[in-house]
């Protein structure tokens, strides 16, 4: 089973959460710390104008804001906490920033970091506050710092962050897709939904079955995205291979990963027109058995 790429989805979730301020923020999804190969898989958000971001998760923002993200599968501990502050020091030195307090640090985790918060509470006594549920601000000499527990945030105010997990209910996923449809085609949204569909594919199937699935996925831009990726991956193998990859991906997202034998049959097809028909059918079939029957 392929590993879910949570970090790109987190970066896109932040863009969606801060969409209202997109003209005054610059997002950098990863950063090279040294002239060598050392890169950090950390989001950096720069404010292009000296304005206050009126959003609960961004009230501590300075001109430079470093975000570390822990996926739903990972826990947050003290080493992650200090590692992120080490990134801050590197960034401060590398960019010759005049005031280190002009850099804020935010660490986002899905799982509640009880042990870390206990450690920080013991170390910094009364210098930890929780301005609202799911957000903890640490006041110490390491500068503006906050810990965000995304699963505890107010869902009505942080839709994209709170839904970035692999345990979505049908009701929550339905709401997410409804809000997503209002955005139309958006590169951030497409990347985000692709990960959500992969991590919650059974619930995704439950929500969309019985609806105009081809129209739903096309409106959200996922079909075009999957097709483009399939063709890009298939360039070295030919157009047919790329189309076959797209079909397998759609079936995996909508239903479940096809068996090795079914994938072999799909990959053996060389007729592009037939593959186009099968791509459309992969969006509407109700089961892998029905799809397999269409290949006979």
pLDDT in tens, 162-186: 999 999 988 888 888 888 877 766 6
Q: How far from each other are the two terminal CA atoms of the chain, in whole angstroms?
A: 28
Residue 219 located in a structural domain: yes
Residue 1 located in a structural domain: no
Asked whether residue 215 carries a pLDDT value surpassing 60, the answer given is no
pLDDT of residue 70: 94
Is the pTM higher than 0.75? The answer reads: no
Give the whole-angstrom CA distance, residue 266 versus residue 90. 49
Q: Could you give the count of Cα atoms lying within 13 Å of 98 in the half-sphere of its Cβ? A: 1
Split at pLDDT 50, 70, 90, the class of 269 is confident
- Tokens (6 digits) for 199: 């991590």
Asked whether residue 187 carries a pLDDT value surpassing 70, the answer given is no
- Tokens (6 digits) for 161: 């962050």
Residue 70 located in a structural domain: yes
Same domain, residue pair 195 and 107: no
The burial of 200, by beta-carbon neighbours within 10 Å (0-12 exposed, 13-18 middle, 19 or more buried), is given as: buried
Task: Point out the domain boundary residue: 162, 189, 221.
Answer: 162
Give the whole-angstrom CA distance, residue 274 versus residue 270. 8
Scanning 113-221, the segments in alpha helix (DSSP H) are 114-124, 159-162, 170-183, 187-199, 201-208, 213-219
The count of domains in the chain is 2
Structural domain of 261 = 170-294
What is the signed CA dihedral for 216, 183, 232, 256, rounded to 10 degrees?
-40
């Amino acid at each position: 089973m392929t590993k879910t790429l949570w970090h790109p989805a987190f970066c896109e979730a932040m863009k969606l959460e801060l969409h209202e301020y997109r003209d005054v923020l610059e997002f950098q999804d990863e950063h090279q710390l040294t002239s060598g190969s050392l890169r950090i898989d950390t989001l950096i958000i720069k404010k292009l104008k000296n304005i206050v971001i009126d959003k609960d998760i961004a009230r501590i923002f300075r001109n430079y804001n470093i975000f570390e993200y822990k996926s739903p599968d990972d826990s947050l501990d003290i080493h992650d906490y200090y590692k992120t502050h080490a990134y801050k020091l590197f960034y401060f030195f590398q960019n010759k920033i005049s005031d280190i307090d002009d850099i804020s640090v935010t660490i986002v985790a899905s799982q509640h970091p009880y042990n870390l918060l206990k450690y920080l509470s013991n170390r910094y006594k009364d210098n930890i506050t929780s301005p609202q549920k799911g957000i903890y601000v640490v006041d110490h000499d390491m500068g503006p710092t906050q810990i965000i527990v995304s699963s505890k945030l107010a869902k009505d105010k942080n839709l994209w962050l709170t839904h970035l997990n692999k345990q979505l209910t049908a009701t929550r996923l339905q709401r997410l897709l409804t809000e997503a449809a209002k955005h139309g085609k958006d590169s951030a949204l497409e990347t985000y939904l692709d990960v959500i569909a992969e991590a919650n594919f059974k619930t995704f199937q439950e929500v969309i079955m019985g609806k105009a699935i081809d129209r739903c996925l096309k409106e959200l831009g996922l079909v075009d995205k999957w097709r483009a990726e399939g063709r890009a991956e298939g360039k070295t193998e030919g157009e047919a291979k790329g189309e076959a990859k797209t079909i397998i991906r759609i079936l995996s997202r909508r239903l479940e990963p096809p068996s090795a034998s079914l994938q072999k049959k799909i990959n053996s097809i060389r007729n592009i027109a037939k593959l186009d028909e099968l791509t459309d059918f992969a969006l509407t079939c109700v089961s892998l058995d029905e799809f397999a029957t269409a290949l006979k």
